[in-house]
Structure 1
């Protein structure tokens, strides 16, 4: 957790959240309001994170149109929670998925999960991703 809340990681997460912009969550805080808020509240938030007491805020639900018609529910976390999510992601992603290249894309269709790494590799997973019987296969189709 020290690495997650470390200054360099948090600054990188902050830059990413600012670049992504995004809508305000339940608290209606915008990304432009994040820096002054953190100047006042970061010591408390950091302490809560390190002690395991931090609790994310509820997400704001909005409905957005689906491309094929109809609507779908979208949850929008607060800007502070997006910052923390990004910081956690930056530390954990390289540990849990070191082989996932930035040139890769992933998709899920039914029970088959596909990951393509351009220009050559394609991997797929058949079965439940949480199951010990899942099988990753690789091919060199382009």
Structure 2
């Protein structure tokens, strides 16, 4: 923890290169309901691998990573109407979780003003 409240991390994007964060992200989301639903690429979390993580990190380093379109599905609401649900592909779910974890550490810090 940094006690200097004026310090700003100008290299936060580099945290997206850490393989261990992707492994933790995978572990956190693999058992949540709905996360085995395939996205637009038809892949599921059970097909995700360390090689997939390394490919994502390489795309991050070369600034080639792009989120893919989400698969849209309609699910019923209790009122009987339908609600649109967007289902991202596996790699996007993992990247989103890594981003959420990094931001959570920054903004939930006890030293955040």
The equivalent of 1:32 in structure 2 is: 46
Equivalent residues of 1:5, 1:87 under 8 A apart: no
Once the two structures are TM-superposed, the CA of residue 91 in structure 1 deviates from its matched residue by 0.6
TM-score (norm. length: structure 2): 0.74
Q: Which structure 1 residue ranges, 5 or more long, are not aligned? A: 100-142
Structure whose alpha-carbon radius of gyration is higher: 1
RMSD: 1.8
TM-score (norm. length: structure 1): 0.60
Please state which structure has a larger fraction of its residues in strand: 1
Once the two structures are TM-superposed, the CA of residue 64 in structure 1 deviates from its matched residue by 0.4
Q: Which structure 2 residue ranges, 5 or more long, are not aligned? A: 1-12
Greater RCO between the two (CA within 8 Å, min separation 6)? 2
Size of the aligned set, in residue pairs, is 96
Aligned to 1:5, which of 17, 38, 52? Answer: 17
Q: Whole-Å Cα distance in 1 between the matches of residues 36 and 17 of structure 2?
A: 22
